[in-house]
């Protein structure tokens, strides 16, 4: 059996996603020639694409709830431009490539959405780029960090209808490398990441490039399949190099849990460097002692004092579901508020008109912090990065960085 390298797999996935989406895209011209049909009635619809049933659903269900709550508030105040707002949600948790494309086709052709908010995962956003561009439907991703979502790898040009309210892989990866090398003084380390995990591979590339540029040495680089639950072989190899620090980006906390627990079983002790994909209360519940002393880069902390009142109300309202407000819920609010700003600024639901507003967004007051877009990348400028440390079984604020782009 031939194994694809992580780079080859990522390129193949992106190519397949683009090709599959392109195959479906021409239908828009024939079936939806009149863009005004999307808002001709008394209701305007917004699409929400998410993983609602897969193992990583903890990143998608809270933002869905947060946006639904906010839509209720919008409608209680008269809606947008006198029309009721409706959120249309689709699950792509079983098969990111095919289900994402199918869902967005339905959103645009059947539901007539004016825009899409979400997804949180890069593997759900990459397949829908062509569909959004061809149909002129703005998509505001709320956690999908792969750089290719908003900028074409082939042309270097911005994807015209794809936007992002979170920071992207290049920045998070480089920021974590700088933190490890300059703040912590780590001169050598090992890495491990999922081959098919586009989120992890994106961050890993930029982390590794920046870390080596600074003078750091990666003494072991290991990988695994997303279906794997056994990591002892890779960890033993890393342990044999004498590495004491392990950079392990992952899209879901379960990988961090398995890696930390199995390392302990092998008698290996690492200082872990994680990224925001694993940041969840469940990580501490499943591997608290094993990840003690770990550092995690994240856009913010769930328990951010500025959001305490909102979090308390959200947690109480959704107590029966078992879900609590998290960073993805906050990003969900950023996404819907950015779209709301564009609608009111332009007094329009037209995708082309909304795009022009989004392209020039500056100091827009969102839920987390003011938003200014980089028109060349459709990424936010000056986005804060928070570094957390696991101490005494809790997430604690260790450092906060806000670059000036």
First and final CA of the chain: distance in angstroms?
A: 45
Predicted confidence (pLDDT) at residue 100 exceeds the cutoff of 50: yes
170-298+386-401: which CATH architecture? 3-Layer(aba) Sandwich (3.40)
Of the pLDDT bands very low, low, confident and very high (cuts 50, 70, 90), residue 35 is: low
pLDDT recorded at residue 31:
42
Ordered by start, the domain boundaries in the chain are 42-167+304-371, 170-298+386-401
195-218: pLDDT as tens digits: 988 889 999 999 999 999 999 999
Mean pLDDT of 89-117: 94
Of the pLDDT bands very low, low, confident and very high (cuts 50, 70, 90), residue 7 is: very low
Contact 123, 13 (CB under 8 A): yes
324-377: pLDDT as tens digits: 999 999 999 999 999 999 999 999 999 999 999 999 999 999 999 999 999 999
pLDDT recorded at residue 36:
64
pLDDT recorded at residue 403:
57
The proportion of the chain whose per-residue pLDDT surpasses 90, expressed as a percent, equals 78
Does this chain's domain 42-167+304-371 share its CATH topology with 170-298+386-401?
A: yes
Q: Which residue, among 245, 260, 256, has the nearest Cα to 191 in the 3D structure?
A: 245
| 3-state SS class at 402 | coil
Mean pLDDT of 167-177: 91
From the number of C-beta atoms within 10 Å of its C-beta (0-12, 13-18, 19+), residue 405 rates as: exposed
Q: Check: CATH 3.40.50.2300 for 42-167+304-371?
A: yes
Mean pLDDT of 122-131: 94
pLDDT recorded at residue 56:
80
């Amino acid at each position: 059996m031939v194994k694809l390298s992580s780079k080859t797999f990522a390129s193949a996935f992106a190519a397949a996603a683009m090709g599959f989406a392109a195959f479906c895209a021409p239908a828009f011209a024939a079936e939806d020639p009149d863009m005004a049909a999307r808002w001709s009635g008394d209701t305007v619809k917004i699409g929400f694409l998410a993983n609602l049933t897969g193992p990583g659903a903890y990143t998608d269900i809270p933002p869905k709830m947060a946006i639904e709550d906010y839509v209720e508030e919008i409608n209680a105040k008269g809606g947008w431009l006198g029309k009721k707002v409706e959120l249309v949600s689709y699950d792509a948790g079983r098969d990111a490539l095919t289900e994402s494309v199918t869902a967005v086709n339905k959103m645009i052709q059947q539901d007539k959405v004016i825009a899409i908010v979400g997804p949180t995962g890069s593997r759900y956003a990459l397949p829908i780029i062509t569909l959004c561009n061809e149909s002129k439907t703005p998509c505001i991703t709320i956690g999908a960090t792969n750089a290719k979502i908003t900028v074409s790898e082939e042309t270097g040009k911005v994807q015209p209808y794809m936007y992002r309210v979170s920071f992207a892989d290049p920045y998070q990866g480089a920021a974590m490398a700088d933190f490890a090398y300059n703040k912590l003084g780590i001169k050598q380390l090992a890495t491990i990441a999922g081959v098919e995990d586009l989120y992890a591979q994106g961050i890993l590339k930029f982390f590794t490039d920046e870390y080596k540029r600074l003078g750091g040495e990666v003494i072991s680089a290991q990988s695994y399949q997303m279906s794997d639950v056994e990591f002892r072989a890779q960890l033993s190899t890393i342990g044999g190099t004498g590495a004491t620090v392990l950079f392990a980006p992952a899209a879901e906390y379960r990988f961090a849990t398995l890696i930390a627990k199995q390392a302990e079983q092998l008698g290996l002790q690492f200082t872990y460097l994680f990224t925001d994909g694993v940041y969840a209360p469940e990580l501490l519940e499943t591997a608290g002692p094993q990840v003690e002393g770990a550092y995690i880069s994240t856009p913010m902390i769930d328990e951010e004092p500025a959001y305490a009142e909102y979090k308390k109300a959200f947690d109480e309202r959704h107590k029966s579901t078992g879900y609590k407000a998290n960073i993805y819920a906050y990003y969900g609010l950023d996404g819907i508020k950015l779209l709301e700003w564009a609608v009111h600024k332009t007094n329009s639901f037209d995708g082309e008109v909304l795009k022009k507003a989004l392209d020039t967004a500056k100091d827009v007051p969102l839920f987390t912090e003011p938003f200014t877009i980089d028109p060349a990348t459709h990424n936010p400028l000056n986005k804060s990065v928070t570094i957390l440390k696991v101490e005494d079984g809790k997430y604690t604020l260790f450092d906060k960085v806000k670059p000036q782009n």
